[in-house]
Structure 1
Amino acid sequence: MPHLLIRGIAPERIRTVAGPLTEELAAVCECPADYFMLECLHATAVSPEGELVSSYPFIEVAWFDRGLGAQDRFARAVDRHVRQALGLPELEIAFRVYRERDYYANGESFGDDQAQDAPPPEEELESLRQANRKLAEELRKARKALSSSAAGGAMSTRLRDALRE
């Protein structure tokens, strides 16, 4: 772990960059280079017209989240060692994040039981965004009501109570 699932690039070409690539990725992830698995997958691409075409160069990274900074460094290293070094015109990289609690080796989870109860960071972030949108809308309404009361109307009891909270 991490696993790089590689499509659209011949294994012989990946072999030429595997050593330097995994050494740099190991430094980014702060783990031994032998933790990495580079898998060249055979894929048959079919065009919308039904023609067999070359697969697009694509690397899917399956890993445990190491933060956005590490992810950015990882992607740049893969791009430099694969796209640039092999002279590919384009390369796409996507990350699939595994939660340690949901990843097993030999029947044993990599995570602890307490982490299972915590919401995933993306769910927590979306919940906070929704709460922020709700508060922003309430603030907008309060400001609007306040400006209309300053123009001559009296502040309602309901608005006054809301502003106190």
Structure 2
Amino acid sequence: MPHIRVRGAEKEKVRDFTAGLADELGIIAECPADWFTFEYVETTFFFDGKEDDGLVFIEVLWFDRDSEARDKIAALFTERWKKITDKIVTIVFNPLIENMYYEDGVHF
């Protein structure tokens, strides 16, 4: 935790995107880098009955931080992706509720 899910991009680009990212995120989110997990989600977008290129969609599941941290992370993700692709980048933060998050059967 935090969990970062990426879809709408090739697996190799997601791999490149995550290189060294946990250290930067740890500073912003004020937590150890090894708390972060990164997940590539293979997906297909559709529009009007046809396959579509879609967009890069990054979802952050975490115990909520302040708007300053969210702004910094959104800027960091956008900056990194714009170096990899010209696709639109959408970032969504989903706050988790601590007593509803269990690790090995114990909630936080």
TM (norm. structure 1) is 0.61
What letter matches 1:45 in structure 2? F
Rate the CA distance shift 1:96–1:54 in 2: closer, same or farther, 3 A.
Answer: same
Corresponding residue pairs, total: 108
- Secondary structure at 1:31's aligned position in 2? coil
> 5+ residue gaps in structure 2?
none
Q: Give the greater-gyration-radius structure (CA).
A: 1
% of aligned pairs identical? 34
Instruction: State the match for 2:74 in structure 1.
Output: 75
In structure 1, the residue matched to 2:65 is 66
Taking the aligned partners of 1:51 and 1:84, their CA distance within structure 2 comes to 26
**1:60 is aligned with what amino acid?**
E
1:24 aligns with 2:31: no
AA in 2 matched with 1:67: D
CA contact (8 A) 2:4 2:39 kept: yes
Structure 1 stretches of 4+ moved >3 Å: none
Q: Amino acid of the residue matched to residue 31 of structure 2?
A: C
CA RMSD of aligned residues (A): 1.4
Which of the pair has the greater relative contact order for Cα pairs under 8 Å at 6+ separation?
2
1:114-145 per-residue CA deviation (whole Å, 9 max, x = no partner) reads xxxxxxxxxxxxxxxxxxxxxxxxxxxxxxxx
Indicate the structure with greater strand content.
2
Aligned to 2:83: 85
Q: Contact 2:55–2:87 at 8 Å: present in 1 too? A: no
92, 95, 99: which is aligned to 2:93?
95
TM score, norm. by length of structure 2: 0.90
Q: More helix per residue: 1 or 2?
A: 1
Q: Kindly provide the amino acid, as one letter, of the partner of residue 64 in structure 2.
A: D
| Aligned residue number for residue 119 of structure 1 | none
How far the C-alpha of 1:69 sits from its partner, in A, is 1.1
Listed one character per residue, the Cα deviations across residues 46-77 of structure 1 (whole Å, up to 9, x for unaligned) are 222x1122232111111101111111111111
CA distance in 1, matches of 2:51, 2:17: 28
Find the residue that maps to 2:95 and give its secondary structure: strand
